[in-house]
Amino acid sequence: MTDSTTTTTRSRLWVFVPFAVIVVLAAAWTGFWFFAASKAEAIISRWIEQEERLGRVYQCASRTVGGFPFRFEVRCREPSMELTALQPPRVIRAKDLVALAQVYQPGLIIAEITGPVSIAEAGGPPIGRADWRLAQASLRASGIRPERLSVVLDGVKLEFLENGAADPVGTADHVELHLRRNPEAVADKVDVDFALQASGAVVQRGPLAGRPIALEAAGVARAIPDIRRKTTPQRLREWQAAGGKLELQKVRLQQGEAVAVAAGDLRLTESGRPDGTLNITMTGFDRLVREAIGGATGGGLQLGLVAGLAFLGSPAQLDGRRAVTVPMRFKDGTMSLGPIPLGKVEPLF
pLDDT in tens, 4-61: 555 555 555 566 667 677 777 777 767 777 777 776 677 677 778 878 887 889 999 9
Q: 215 with 300, same domain?
A: yes
Tally of domains in the chain: 2
Measure the CA–CA gap between 37 and 73, rounded to whole angstroms.
9
Q: What is the pLDDT of residue 37?
A: 72
Q: 76 with 159, same domain?
A: yes
Asked if residue 107 is part of any domain, the answer here is yes
DSSP percent split of the chain into helix, strand, coil, nearest 5: 25, 50, 25
Q: 208 with 175, same domain?
A: no
Q: What is the pLDDT of residue 2?
A: 56
Mean pLDDT for the chain?
84
The parent domain of residue 282 ranges over: 204-349
Measure the CA–CA gap between 274 and 272, rounded to whole angstroms.
7
Q: 163 with 212, same domain?
A: no
Q: What is the pLDDT of residue 156?
A: 97
Asked if residue 195 is part of any domain, the answer here is no
Asked if residue 120 is part of any domain, the answer here is yes
Q: 130 with 249, same domain?
A: no
DSSP state of 84: T
Q: How confident is the model at residue 300 (pLDDT cuts 50, 70, 90)?
A: very low
Cβ neighbors of 177 (< 8 A, separation 6 or more) are 149, 150, 151, 194, 195, 196
Better pLDDT: 341 or 29: 341
Domain boundary among 132, 147, 181: 181
Asked if residue 268 is part of any domain, the answer here is yes
Q: How confident is the model at residue 240 (pLDDT cuts 50, 70, 90)?
A: very high
pLDDT at 301 > cutoff 60: no
Q: 137 with 249, same domain?
A: no
Q: 292 with 209, same domain?
A: yes
Domain boundary among 132, 150, 181: 181
Q: 176 with 28, same domain?
A: yes
Domain boundary among 149, 181, 213: 181
Q: 170 with 215, same domain?
A: no
Asked if residue 194 is part of any domain, the answer here is no
- Across 89-93, 220-224, 271-275, 304-308, least confident range: 304-308
Measure the CA–CA gap between 121 and 83, rounded to whole angstroms.
10
Alpha helices in 177-283 (DSSP H): 232-241
Q: 41 with 162, same domain?
A: yes
Q: 222, exposed or middle or buried, with CB in 10 Å at 0-12, 13-18, 19+?
A: buried
Q: How confident is the model at residue 303 (pLDDT cuts 50, 70, 90)?
A: very low
Q: How many Cβ atoms are within 10 Å of 29's Cβ, its own excluded?
A: 14
Q: How remote is the C-alpha of 349 from its chain's centroid?
A: 24
pLDDT tens for each residue of 244-285: 999 999 999 999 889 999 999 999 999 999 999 999 998 887
Asked if residue 155 is part of any domain, the answer here is yes
Q: 177 with 209, same domain?
A: no
Please report, for residues 34, 131, 161, 260, the alpha-carbon distance to residue 118 in angstroms, rounded to integers and kept in the order given. Answer: 35, 9, 9, 33
Q: 177 with 43, same domain?
A: yes
Asked if residue 7 is part of any domain, the answer here is no
Q: What is the pLDDT of residue 8?
A: 58
Asked if residue 5 is part of any domain, the answer here is no
